Structure 1
């Protein structure tokens, strides 16, 4: 007789899988919960350090942004404003600059020019800080001018008070003064520097305010210095906005303990001012044990700047940090502190909820991942590939299959919208600029930097007359066709097209992408555009239309390159004397009958591959000294045969050089004979006729005498 053995316990596959999966989930959940429990306090400290760093960076960015804006204004002023203008005329000009500056930089308190003879013109905004010299009770007062001049009895200072519209409200007669801009902390360093200098914090001469001065020497007159006074007290309001939570304490101070900024800085200064007039407010003067404790912690840990420290004040533990502001103001420091209790108090409340949330989240996440991963993986990979292609500016793709997942479908729609928006955006903004924006190599902040560029202006001769004979639709179609042909050649040659102005184009090279041969490629771009227009004009004439004969002007030199505009709309452009000269040269083409007129700087920097002929030596409008002008005839590069100089121009060069030599020595008779020969050879070359008339006029003057 056989006995049945013990009955085996059977497990279903579903139960086994469920048990194993449950054990895995519980193991993962337990590990995560245990790890979170152990690391929570450490992470809280790390979060506090990150917040400290964010606040410190915000303060730095606020100061740096203000300095960039002020620096851009100084660059432009030093390039465009003549410091030798009469004092009151210069004061009115500086007032308009200060008005614009006040809108974007409230910290700017004054704008001035100090001259080498000791004279000084300063424009100061009357925003609650009035110089004692002008008195009080002046309704509608907005600006005060201090003009320091040299008289028979020495230096005198007079004051003029105006309203917002420039109307004079009060004049204070000249009084003897010891103020001399040459003894101010910004004058000497500005003259010994080629760029902008920033002074350490100091007390301003006219108002009881602590601030810094940004200054740089004038480019139009040696010995003159432009400067902007910036008060640091405006940081008080900015620090107050950063004070979250309210238990957070933060301040800006210098190494000696002078309080520069604090959320309650204005109150501290007003309480201290009556008793301690003429002295800086120190951290200890505030009467705050915490602020004094923060400064003592800084003194004890100066070698550990940028690291978090713990310190005790009145039996309470605090977590703090001190960092140098930098950005050209190395003597200023940002200090932060928060009570330990405030920092880690919520930890206990979070911990209990985290135990439940972590376990539930892990279980739910695993279930969702198992169910959705297969369906989401493929469309997400396709979306990633599409985005990668768009970031490479490769537009156009095969139509994707529709997903049943709403988010994936919306993502596909968003990618399509991104592609359309970016492709259209590149038609309004230069491609090089868009690539730098997408690559995070470009800032849209207002301001710019000084760098060498080559600038080109073009203009269509007789455009107004042509446009009057056509319908507006025809003018638009023809102009668009013209700009498309001309612009494509300029962009192909590395140009950044700044703007289309009616029938004109402004373009520049060496920004935003810099390269050493920017002058040479600018010449190549102008030649390519000119030859392309020759072919286009032949098409216009074959279509019974009038040609669009175009003249070009080019100049190279330093300019301010960057963003100009307002907070909601900016234009990437170039400003300065170089731009003005390029525009003037374009207009001079009409005088000489030339096509591509360039400055001697362009001729010298273009290189041996380009052929020029001398045109004239003259003083263009807006310039102060004579400038040699040249016509760009073509390029002798073997890889660019279409831009080779025209043979009729090359054949006359030797005789033309002889003409120029005779004109230089005053041999008008020999020059006239050679010019008559040139006019017979090339009757369409207006330059020869211009010089022939000049020689005949000079011969007539000699015979008359």
Structure 2
């Protein structure tokens, strides 16, 4: 009997310890995911506010000129996610501006006192001026914006002020970051900028990170007040909110010495029911930090151990030998599923999220824990869509925190856009447009990643990607070519019924650029900048001029190696860049390009050689003949016109064969 009791106690302690470790591993994984998600949203806000601060610092923004302010706000609005907005209000209450990046991808700006709003495309091309909806007219024009939380909170500090959840002017529940704007240091503020972030989507995402059976995840400020809470029934959330406030009322839990990224464990007694609480702070700005708080009933994790001991004690009176066997088998059946779940959580901590379902168990509590882990994994998969997975995994594997900095590396740059996207968007309903664009971007992203590329960012319908970072790719130029060709081959059946198949224009460039974590000191993202990025973007736009689909520099063509067919198009100088560059069109792979296209390529390049040799009349005749045979060859038509003009009015001896584009 004594040996059985000892076995029972050992089994109890083993299960209790395993479940306690399970809670800690579970909280660590949830806190990491929630922190990364929150920091990602806050980073976007800081980038916009830092942009305004920089303009004021270098005296490039006159706050007295609301037209100039509105122009800069339009540019900053394109950096926001759809649903977010920015605004500006003068200190004396004489005028305000409000710019929304709406879910249809358009940018809308309203000035106080007006009953209309101006609508722009994502490229900031003016579309129309439309009447403001009745509910928005009332919100924008009927009250003094200086009574809004974003304005009042900004008056209390010289830094960035955060307004806790309130109803935004659009009617959505959200938070705001605001900053007083001074024309120069030491002068009274002329006005206040603010950025609004609706929190509904983030609240739903937090609810998917449910811990245990009834646990929840909150985002708090440093005083323990709720900033963002998970979506759910108010009656349920209210009770958990009260418990959380009680637990965090002690200074030990919200200790200022707790470093961001670390965790603090606590518990609170609610009428005999013990709740476990995990608290992990993170920096919002230099002067303020928030925290991820995870709260769950201890019974969700530890009740099993008590039940196990009770079963052992009851069955001990029946038969010692049988009870020992039962206890041993039972302990294994309890610990094995927990061990599998714990191992799964360890891989989740490295952002290696398996598709394996948690093991089934005949014990309700273990089954509930497994189901909660599966729900959390689903939420983490959503998080991976916001950050390049390869970048995050490399950072996690290093065991170091993300640091600001970049290095110079030779990359292949890839820029794409949809031909005629603005016209297409105007003909579609919002839901259908979003679905259509999702399918298209899924295709582009899949092709780039299959070719070992990294998608930097989506710019509406546009995509910026690069090859050879963060991991080295020896044949990155050839891979970028294959990706560009595969993007052109989007199958018609991949689009929803009755949807147009998008035509993709792509620019390709090769050069040494800066790549790494860039942005502000506390908020940055893994991205790329450099002259070649700008040039590649210009090449993508030049496709429209020459009627081509894929355009690259001659240096890129030469580095791509054999197996590809190209056509030399022209020698150009793009807007904003000195010096000429030879541009080429990627036609296809060797052996896979039709003979007519190859013959037309040879005729075009022969005419181009005559053109560069100042033989303008023969060149014009050759280009014209090619254009007549192939009316769809816009480049041949364009060059025929240029050669004809130069034949009538030849250039001077200093002609360098470069055609200069004055506009982007």
TM-score range, shorter chain: 0.3 to 0.5
TM-score, normalised to structure 2, is 0.47
Structure with the larger RCO, 1 or 2 (CA within 8 Å, 6+ apart): 2
TM-score normalised according to structure 1 size: 0.45
Kindly name which structure, 1 or 2, has the bigger radius of gyration based on alpha carbons: 1
